[in-house]
Amino acid sequence: MFVMAALALGVIVGRLAYIMLYRGEYYSEKADSLHERERSIKAPRGRIYDRNGNIIADNKAVCSISVIHSQIEDEAEVTELLTRYLDKDPADIRKKVEKVSSRELIASNVDKETGKKIKAAAVPGIKVDEDYKRSYPYDTLASKVIGFTGADNQGILGLEVTYDSVLTGTNGSINAVTDARGIELAEYSETRTEPIPGNDLVTTLDFNIQRYVTQAAEKVQIEKKANRVCAITINPQNGEIYAMVDVPEYNLNEPFKLVKPENDEETDTGEDAERNNSASGTSMLLPTAGNMDELNNMWRNYLISDTYEPGSTAKIITLTAALEKGAVDSSSNFFCPGYKIVEDRRIRCSKTTGHGSQSLKEALMNSCNPAFMEIGERTGVDGMYEYYHKLGLFSQSGIDLPGEANSIMHKKENVGPVELATMSFGQSFQVTPIQFISAVCTVVNGGHTVTPHLGKRIIDSSKETITAIEFDEQRQVIDEETSQKMREMLEAVVAEGGGSKCAIEGCRIGGKTATSEKLPRGTGRYISSFIGFAPADDPQVLTVVLIDEPEGTYYGGTIAAPVVRDIFLNILPYLGIDKATNEY
């Protein structure tokens, strides 16, 4: 019995020694955790800047208000104080105050002044903690590019979600010591772990160019009563996006308020509708469960998330492929009687009386469908598809925004004479605007691919560069000589052809018009577009405008080309492109 008792005592002593010497730190932390209450301190999210250092996404200091039930001395007093200062249902506040829990959040994103007043009252059981709310100083500007965050400060759309891991900081905490009942002990002061802010993002956007392009888009949308007007201004040499616009835009500071036309008969007039008339002729509507589809459509960036038939701007791709394959050259001639018979189809030209005999350059200037059907026929299906692939029309552009769609193309084996003919002038296939813009950049920049992008570099709070954001390496896919020929012919389109309404005296501008009928055909719904670049001999800026379902005149050369002209009148001097010589 003595030996057994000694062995048992030895086991107990050994176990105690193990716990105290080897596991002491672990159990000490466990014990401390029973007497500590932790409250999180939200880390400031990294700012987003334009290329010139203008802040386009910032943080606003706010407060979060909570109650700790074990510390409340007078529930009625706590309820009365919170009801007085917070825009909350008194019944909801009372329910949370009476709930037995370690901590109940009453309200977040409370402005600092209100938080100070509640804190100054010094009512036991109420905690006022610092917090941060995302703030957008320019409200609607570039809303579909920047995106917004949720209540937890996590990115939901746009750049906010693409670069969420960069912008998100590390939360801090406030720790208080409590007794067994959870009441904080006055003799122990709170300990604090400071939050670490997220890193900042510098974008390629230019605030001034974004504003110019937005104003031009809003003007034509109002004048033509269009569904939407989209525009993008990009450096075709490196893919840096200066402006990306899809109007109507929404207010980033109120992203769940639905923007609807005032004359929309389906506008909700229920109890939850909150209307504010604005100068832009729109209304704001609080969302209900039934209009989330409308909200998603409002947030949607058409330039990257939707496809369309490019229409006559696709003749840029057709002609590039034909020149590269040797199917045509500068001496090629065509005859247009006003139509072309393809199998059992009579496909007409926009000029029903025909253009007659014309050179290759004149065919592009006239945007002649029969001529381009012949150019496509000479190039062949294999040749066309080879350059669709080379120019990126079968793959996503790689832009650093979420939700990018891809093109809708015929399988090559299913392309017959009719399909080839219609594809040659931009029908029967669909691409996203950003895919098509990337392809045109390659055609005019000397023949190298670019990745359109918005991220430029990541910096810390002292504005020191941490990382320069890199994208896919450029590849030469078009011969420089072909690119030069295309620039010259596209310059003639603006100087002498259908793009003349984009011409600016003293400036060398290249471009192409398009008017594409939306599916199903025969409904009279069109997308009018124009793509322009300058200087024509060495493009440094390229702008595309798309007008969705304009009322009245719908020809791209008539209504879209002047918009690009207005944009260029503002931004060419700003970018330092000399009007007299049009040199960069």
Q: Is the dihedral of CA 475, 478, 479, 485 positive or negative?
A: negative
Q: Which residues are known catalytic residues? A: 312
What is the DSSP code string of 147-215? Answer: --B-TTS-B-SHHHHHTHHHH--B-EEEEEEB-TTSPBPTTSPPEEE--BPPPEEEES--HHHHHHHHH
Residue 361 is encoded by which pair of tokens? 């350059």
The values of phi and psi at residue 282, to 5°, are -125, 165
In sequence order, what are the beta bridge partners of 245? 231
Residue (of 562, 501, 564) closest to 532 by Cα position: 564
What is the DSSP code string of 210-264? Answer: HHHHHHHHHHHHHHHT-SEEEEEEE-TTT-BEEEEEEESP--TTSTTSEEEETT-
Separation CA 30–CA 191 (nearest Å): 17
Which own/partner contact pairs does 182-187 have at CB distance under 8 Å and 24+ positions apart?
182/37, 182/68, 182/70, 182/71, 182/102, 183/70, 183/71, 184/37, 184/68, 184/71
Residue 74 is encoded by which pair of tokens? 């007078």
What is the number of other CB atoms lying within 10 angstroms of the CB of residue 427?
21
Residue 333 is encoded by which pair of tokens? 């001639």
Separation CA 301–CA 419 (nearest Å): 29
The residue assigned the tokens 């009007």 is 579
Task: Classify each residue of 131-148 as buried b or exposed e, where b means 16 or more C-beta atoms within 10 Å of its C-beta.
Answer: bbbbbbebebbbbbbbbb
173 φ/ψ sector (left φ>0, alpha ψ -120 to 50, else beta): beta
**What three-state secondary structure class fits 78?**
helix
Q: What angle do CA 431, 302, 216 make, to 5 degrees?
A: 115
Separation CA 156–CA 427 (nearest Å): 35
Separation CA 399–CA 380 (nearest Å): 31
The DSSP element (H or E) to which 119 belongs, if any, is: helix 112-120
